[in-house]
């Protein structure tokens, strides 16, 4: 095979299940093969092996996209003071010592460094699928993406395979929406408060007995080696830079989309936003409250940003209606 010619080497799916808008990411990788005899230091200066990479040639996008922000917590990067102050207000937590001690304990149980680095010899394509009612009757056969079905928080696949697919590889949740997972699915935690990190540790070990605004699972069944925790600094970056501080904090769905922009090279988006009548509903339920909106999230502004990303050809957005 000639230098620079891409072949499909790996196909794995990333399903992200979300609050208000459920999301899964279908991820496919192509890895370029390079022969040493034809190698040149000038051969490939592009950040990815796709025909076009997300970070190229768009001023509006590059003004918002900051690749230096770590998407996930890891043992290598501590929480900055600025991110701590933002999270303190959001999570009503006031002790930096407690936060740093909890993060240290986190990586005694779970992987210290998630593998999400970019590569110039890889083309990673993702389908980010929300659980909006717009997903019903999706014209695109999502399973052809080598994908994962949309389950966010309590999103469902059984009975909805034609719309959301059959497989789940990454499931995004927080304690109040937690569900048991199989041994091959990644648990992706969005920590809205310090107690969420404490819950994650104890739910896998001694059992959690704390209180919240609704009942939470004391134990969870999942593969501890496939746990990933979204970085509060990333949550702040999404709120401040992408949403211009609108809303109290980003929806889980919008954070998942920006997360995909950071770990994928090509992104397609399904199942987001209100329906054609302006109602915010889920694909798996009959809408009873037609006045239901997006609560503390700037839902309309988030949707406008998604449409701008599509207009600028950064993503491919399929409305569903």
Q: What is the reported pLDDT for 219?
A: 97
At 160-203, the pLDDT tens digits run: 444 444 566 778 888 988 889 989 888 989 998 888 999 999 99
The region of weakest confidence among 19-23, 84-88, 110-114, 187-191 is 19-23
Highest mean pLDDT of the ranges 40-44, 192-196, 290-294? 192-196
pLDDT of 19 > 50? The answer is: no
Are the CB atoms for 251 and 152 separated by under 8 Å? Answer: no
48 contacts: CB under 8 Å, gap ≥ 6: 54, 118, 119, 120, 122, 123, 124, 265
User: What letters, b where the CB count within 10 A reaches 16 and e where it falls short, cover 234-269?
Assistant: bbbbbbeebbeebbebbbbbbbbbbbbbbbbbbbbb
Higher pLDDT, 200 or 3: 200
At 217-274, the pLDDT tens digits run: 999 999 999 999 999 999 999 999 999 999 888 888 888 889 889 888 888 887 776 6
User: What letters, b where the CB count within 10 A reaches 16 and e where it falls short, cover 41-69?
Assistant: eeebeebbbbeebbbeeeeebeebbeeeb
- Active site amino acids: 249, 297
Rounded Cα distance, 277 and 166, in Å: 29
Strand pairing partners for 103? Answer: none
Q: Which domains does the chain have, with CATH numbers?
A: 6-36+43-318 (3.90.1480.20)
Residue 8: pLDDT band with limits 50, 70, 90? very low
Rounded Cα distance, 232 and 100, in Å: 12
Alpha carbons within 13 angstroms on the beta-carbon side of residue 175 total 27
Residue 154: pLDDT band with limits 50, 70, 90? very low
Helices (H), 139-251: 161-164, 194-204, 232-237
């Amino acid at each position: 095979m000639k230098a620079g010619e891409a072949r499909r080497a790996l196909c794995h799916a990333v399903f992200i299940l979300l609050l208000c808008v459920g999301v899964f990411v279908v991820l496919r990788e192509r890895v370029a093969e390079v022969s040493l005899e034809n190698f040149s230091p000038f051969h490939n200066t592009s950040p990815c092996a796709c025909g076009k990479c997300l970070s190229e040639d768009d001023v509006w996008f590059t003004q918002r996209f900051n690749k230096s922000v770590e998407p996930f917590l890891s043992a290598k990067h501590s929480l900055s003071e600025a991110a701590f102050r933002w999270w303190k207000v959001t999570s009503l937590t006031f002790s930096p010592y407690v936060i740093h001690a909890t993060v240290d304990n986190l990586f005694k149980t779970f992987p210290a460094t998630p593998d999400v680095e970019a590569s110039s010899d890889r083309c990673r394509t993702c389908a980010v699928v929300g659980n909006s009612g717009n997903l019903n009757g999706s014209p695109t056969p999502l399973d052809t993406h080598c994908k994962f079905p949309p389950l966010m928080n309590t999103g469902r696949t059984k009975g909805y395979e034609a719309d959301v697919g059959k497989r789940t590889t990454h499931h995004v949740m927080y304690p109040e929406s937690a569900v048991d997972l199989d041994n091959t699915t990644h648990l992706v935690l969005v920590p809205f408060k310090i107690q969420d990190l404490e819950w994650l540790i104890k739910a896998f070990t001694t059992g959690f007995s704390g209180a919240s605004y609704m009942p939470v699972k004391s134990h969870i069944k999942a593969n501890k080696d496939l746990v990933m925790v979204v970085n509060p600094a990333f949550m702040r970056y999404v709120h401040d830079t992408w949403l211009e501080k609108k809303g109290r904090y980003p929806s889980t769905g919008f954070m998942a989309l920006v997360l995909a922009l950071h770990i994928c090279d090509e992104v397609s988006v399904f199942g987001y936003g209100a329906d054609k009548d302006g109602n915010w509903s889920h694909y798996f339920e009959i809408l009873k409250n037609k006045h239901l909106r997006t609560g503390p999230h700037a839902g309309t502004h988030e949707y406008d940003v998604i449409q701008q990303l599509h207009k600028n050809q950064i993503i491919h957005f399929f409305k569903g209606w």
